[in-house]
Amino acid sequence: MREHLRGRLRRLWPASLLGRLTLVMVAGLLVTQLVANAIWAGQLRSKAQVEAQSAAQYVAHSASAAIRFYRSLPLSYRVLTIQQMREMGGTRFFVQLNHAYVPVKEVAPHPLADSVKATLSATLKSDLPHSPVARLAFAWPDELAVSEDVRLGDLPDAWVQHILLVKPEPAPILVIQTELEPGNWLYMAALMPNPYFLSGNDPWAWDRLALQGLSLAAVLLLCLLVVRWITRPLAALSDAAAAFGQGEHAPPLPETGSREFINTARAFSAMRERIQRYIEDRERLFISISHDLRTPITRLKLRSELLDDEVLRNDFEEDLDELDMMVKGALQCVKDSDIHENPAEIKLDTLLGRLVRSARMAGHEVGFEESGLSVRAKPLALKRAIGNLLDNALYYGKRAEISTRADIGSVSIAVRDHGPGVPEDALASLFDPYMRLEHGREQNDNGMGLGLGIARGVIEAHGGQLILENHPEGGLHATIRLPA
């Protein structure tokens, strides 16, 4: 399970530097924002709790004073007093007298509202210890009933406009109902000192989240631009290194950007020039040495013919033939691995078809089916690499098969022979120069053991792979994988 989780995390982890920096910066910003919001929300809730409790005590003291006042009035005076206060503009409370408790549809449950009601109830009980327990509720204005058959919206505006907030943005209304005498209920409605205390201190309100989201998006956009600006020169450096590794001519890297990249670009350009000079010097040296050695080898062969001792003459000729083969091999290795040509779009059916026709004209049996695939490569170099593999298959296996297929991100060219195969412990050494197995020496005594090494060098110069393995049904199976 743990390994499976690690595998999924590795697949989700971006491969590019741009993706990794972007993911780290985005994750860091999100975590920082969430932690800061959580801390701020905790502080805001704590502050709102303290303020709401203080406001609840203040409202409760005012309500207890109003309850004592109306309880002290005769019943007939209560209605007259309420009417006079309404005509004068009202007091802190909207007051109504009812004959029974009026059911109130409360707002959605909210921890702060519950805390305020608990503080109000405790304070009223403390101020009015001998009075019946008051019933408390918070309700929205449009759903608030003030008597059995009258709603708040049915009342004249003059009665409530200076006491309650009904429009344009309604605020939750505190309703206190208590029984003065049996059959007489005092109904009081008021606003808290902070009318919007339930929503004003909400850290997750949509307007605050929208503002934070816009701020986060702006920061992320700037971070992405900076990361892209930093990594773009690295992508140019990677492309230049890949082009140089495949033998292509790439323009000099621009010396722009940060100081570190400018120094890297200069170091890469200097390294590329040194390597190019080294390759050219090595090529000239090998060609010169190989060419110069052919003349004395030829003279020594002619002089060996003048030896009277036949045994000695045969030994001389055998050593000279071996030396001549080594010189030819060195010259061929340099020429075949350093092919200076431009990459082009190659239709594999055409290229492989020519090789197959030439082999069949020479009397060999080669199986091949067209696939319609194409690759971008150096035509002569790729033909030489595939030709070496096909020659080996025909020399050592008598019969060969060539097939192509398209994989994810690559194109595979497989050459299989029907020979005896290769021992598993010898597969890794087949690419070594002059490496020839006993079966190979018997089948082709003129070979030099350079074909596979040359083929692998050509394929790797194209950014591909050459894989050798024994086929399950017998014979050697060589697979070339090139970028699609």
Q: Residues 175, 144: contact at Cβ < 8 Å?
A: yes
> Long-range contacts made by residues 329-333, C-beta under 8 angstroms, separation at least 24?
329/433, 329/434, 329/448, 329/450, 330/286, 330/289, 330/290, 331/286, 331/287, 331/290, 331/291, 332/448, 332/450, 332/454, 333/286, 333/433, 333/450, 333/453, 333/454
Domain boundary assignment for the chain: 20-200, 259-336, 342-483
Q: Locate tokens 């089948």: which residue?
A: 443
Phi, psi of 159 (to 5 degrees): -75, -25
d(CA 414, CA 70): 103
Is 342-483 in CATH node 3.30.450.90? no
Least-confidence region, from 28-32, 213-217, 425-429: 425-429
At 52, is the secondary structure helix, strand, or coil? Answer: helix
d(CA 192, CA 198): 10
pLDDT at 7: 65
Smallest CA-to-CA distance from 278 within 339, 338, 327 is with: 338
d(CA 111, CA 452): 79
Instruction: Report, as an integer, the average pLDDT of 216-223.
Output: 80
- How is residue 353 written in tokens? 């078809």
pLDDT at 340: 57
Cis upstream peptide for 141 (omega within 30°): no
Assign 3-state DSSP to the chain and report helix, strand, coil percentages, each to 5.
60, 15, 25
pLDDT at 450: 66
**What band does 322 get if pLDDT is binned at 50, 70 and 90?**
low
Strands 344-347, 365-368: pairing is unpaired
Instruction: Report, as an integer, the average pLDDT of 112-123.
Output: 89
**What band does 53 get if pLDDT is binned at 50, 70 and 90?**
confident
Q: Residues 253, 269: contact at Cβ < 8 Å?
A: yes
Instruction: Report, as an integer, the average pLDDT of 295-304.
Output: 74
**What band does 155 get if pLDDT is binned at 50, 70 and 90?**
confident
Q: Is the pLDDT of residue 128 over 70?
A: yes
Share of the chain above pLDDT 90, in %: 2
CATH number given to 259-336: 1.10.287.130
**What band does 111 get if pLDDT is binned at 50, 70 and 90?**
confident
Share of the chain above pLDDT 70, in %: 81
Instruction: Report, as an integer, the average pLDDT of 174-202.
Output: 83
Smallest CA-to-CA distance from 451 within 408, 401, 415 is with: 415
d(CA 103, CA 160): 20
pLDDT at 305: 77
Chain segment 236-255, per-residue pLDDT in tens: 777 777 777 666 676 777 77
Instruction: Report, as an integer, the average pLDDT of 80-91.
Output: 76
Angle at 208 between CA 203 and CA 211, to 5 degrees: 145
E strands along 16-150, which residues? 94-98, 135-139
pLDDT at 377: 86
Taking the alpha carbons of 268, 269, 271, 272 in that order, is the dihedral positive or negative?
positive
d(CA 387, CA 379): 12
246: Cβ contacts below 8 Å, ≥ 6 apart:
343, 461, 462, 463
Instruction: Report, as an integer, the average pLDDT of 449-475.
Output: 80
**What band does 335 get if pLDDT is binned at 50, 70 and 90?**
low
Q: Is the pLDDT of residue 233 over 80?
A: no
Q: Residues 339, 457: contact at Cβ < 8 Å?
A: no
Higher pLDDT, residue 332 or 189: 189
Q: Is the pLDDT of residue 445 over 60?
A: no
Mean pLDDT of the chain: 78
pLDDT at 202: 60
Instruction: Report, as an integer, the average pLDDT of 257-283.
Output: 78
Instruction: Report, as an integer, the average pLDDT of 121-150.
Output: 87
pLDDT at 435: 58
- How is residue 176 written in tokens? 């206190």
Q: Is the pLDDT of residue 205 over 80?
A: no
Taking the alpha carbons of 164, 166, 171, 173 in that order, is the dihedral positive or negative?
positive
Q: Is the pLDDT of residue 440 over 60?
A: no
Least-confidence region, from 376-380, 409-413, 422-426: 422-426
d(CA 466, CA 334): 19
pLDDT at 237: 77
Q: Locate tokens 């690559």: which residue?
A: 410
pLDDT at 409: 83
> Long-range contacts made by residues 144-147, C-beta under 8 angstroms, separation at least 24?
144/104, 144/105, 144/173, 144/175, 144/189, 145/102, 145/103, 145/104, 145/105, 146/94, 146/96, 146/102, 146/187, 146/189, 147/96, 147/98, 147/102, 147/187
**What band does 328 get if pLDDT is binned at 50, 70 and 90?**
low
- How is residue 339 written in tokens? 């092919």
Instruction: Report, as an integer, the average pLDDT of 404-419.
Output: 86
Instruction: Report, as an integer, the average pLDDT of 462-479.
Output: 84
